[in-house]
Amino acid sequence: MATAPPRILLVEDDDRIADAVCGGLRSEGFEVDRASEGQEARVLFEVKDYQVAILDRMLPGALDGLALCTRFRAQRPDCGLLMLTALGTTADKVDGLEAGADDYLVKPFDFEELLARIRALLRRHTGDSGPRQLQVADLVLDLQTKEAHRGNKTIPLTAKEFHLLEYFMKNKGKVLSRAKLAADVWGIHFDTGTNVVDVYLNFLRKKVDRDFETKLLVTHIGQGYRMTDDPNSEPEV
């Protein structure tokens, strides 16, 4: 049985920041819900099981980030809480940590740093950093070193090729449509007319399949693409 991806709650009233963070996290395989104000966040937190909550300190409405942090910590001691804010003085950081936050990141921030802090929170609160490697047939993807190997060959990958391959391997056996790939890997949630998915799939096939007898990436005409170690097997639902 496949392990459900970590679920993250982002509480951020700035649409530009929220869209960028949500898109980036979804491309990394996380499930993400977004709330733009405190009351909405409170309701979501009560009905869903989040492993990490990212809280903007300054929010519209009666519940700001500090109040949410205190409430969430009392409700769910095992949930990782990260304050994301433009307030960066030592006193502000102390306030956030004393309210129950595990970590504090000041805007503007680099997405890779945010991602690293989220993964650290997941390790801290679950005691498990997840698998270090993914494998389909003789293709091995090392999630720590960001390297791919097939047989005795090292496969060089760009960052986006790595994310696309990781997504396929985590969804081994499932047919993935162009729309789903565009949404989950690129954060494109509407039809832009772009052929970016096809372009990168072509890149990936040349690197992963071209020099090997067994082809791991299979096309399902009119449906999408599937990674499998048995092209004759039935797709997973």
- pLDDT at position 3 is 60
**Would residue 235 count as lying in a domain?**
no
Whether 140 and 112 map to the same domain: the answer is no
Q: Is the pLDDT of residue 2 over 50?
A: no
- Alpha-carbon distances, residue 91 vs 94, 97, 100 (angstroms): 5, 10, 15
User: pLDDT tens-digit profile of 203-213?
Assistant: 999 999 999 99
Give, rounded to a whole angstrom, the gap between the first and last alpha carbons of the chain.
12
Whether 142 and 180 map to the same domain: the answer is yes
Residue range(s) defining the domain that contains residue 183: 133-227
CATH number for the domain that contains residue 118: 3.40.50.2300
Buried b (16+ CB within 10 A) or exposed e, 169-180: bbbbbbbbebeb
- pLDDT at position 56 is 92
CATH number for the domain that contains residue 157: 1.10.10.10
The total of structural domains in the chain comes to 2
For residues 10 and 52, is the Cβ–Cβ distance under 8 A? no
Q: What percent of the chain has pLDDT over 90?
A: 49
**Would residue 90 count as lying in a domain?**
yes
**Would residue 180 count as lying in a domain?**
yes
Whether 211 and 144 map to the same domain: the answer is yes
User: pLDDT tens-digit profile of 41-59?
Assistant: 999 999 888 999 999 998 8
**Would residue 142 count as lying in a domain?**
yes
Whether 101 and 45 map to the same domain: the answer is yes
Please tell me which residue, 16 or 104, carries the higher pLDDT value: 16
**Residue 153: strand pairing partners:** 150
User: pLDDT tens-digit profile of 141-159?
Assistant: 987 777 899 988 999 988 7
Whether 61 and 152 map to the same domain: the answer is no
**Would residue 236 count as lying in a domain?**
no
Q: Is the pLDDT of residue 127 over 70?
A: no
Last residue of a domain, one of 126, 159, 180: 126
Whether 85 and 167 map to the same domain: the answer is no
Whether 141 and 117 map to the same domain: the answer is no
Q: Is the pLDDT of residue 84 over 70?
A: yes
